[in-house]
Amino acid sequence: MTHDPYVIDEMISAKSIAARIEDLAKTIQTEFKDTDKLVVVGLLRGSFVFIADLVRELDLPVEVDFLEASSYGDGMESSREVRILKDLRGQIEGRDVLVVEDIVDTGHTLHQVIDMLNTRHPRKLKSIALLDKPSRREVDMRADWTGFEIPDEFVVGYGIDYAQRNRNLPFIGKVRFT
């Protein structure tokens, strides 16, 4: 696949992300203070950096599991067709669950994942997204907690990719084609 030449302009610094995750972790700890174990479910692949940093900030007993849902492929636009490519390994019935998403765009992925997980009867099910693009919403869906609200820009970094590139950037950057 050929890639158009592009540059990445920093939108959210690594320092800002770290500070926001610290604040979010405190809120999550309060919400789940009575849990015997919080099942943190990362939506792969974009959330892997966020989930790693978030769970290290949580002073709670934590179990980590992953779901892989896809609606993008290698493109820049959501296909709106959400496919589950990898399901959870563990059971969540009667358990406290936190779904970790990298970005809520149209809302289709998070909506369908939350609906599916609710059929498994967790004790409590909450969601967190690092980024939210409310201007792109097609489904009435918001994460319970959001790191940053951003405009309708194509972003990469901090685990988020463009055609499997740029996940390793320590910041969130806006892609600008040259």
Which residues are known catalytic residues?
105
Report how far residue 55's alpha carbon sits from residue 40's, in angstroms, rounded to the nearest whole number: 8
Q: Do residues 6 and 161 touch, judged by C-beta distance below 8 A? A: no
Q: Do residues 82 and 138 touch, judged by C-beta distance below 8 A? A: no
Count of CB atoms situated within 10 Å of the CB of 125: 19
Q: Where do we find the tokens 């084609």? A: 177
Q: Which residues pair with 139 in a beta bridge?
A: none
Query: Residue 84 has what DSSP assignment?
Result: E
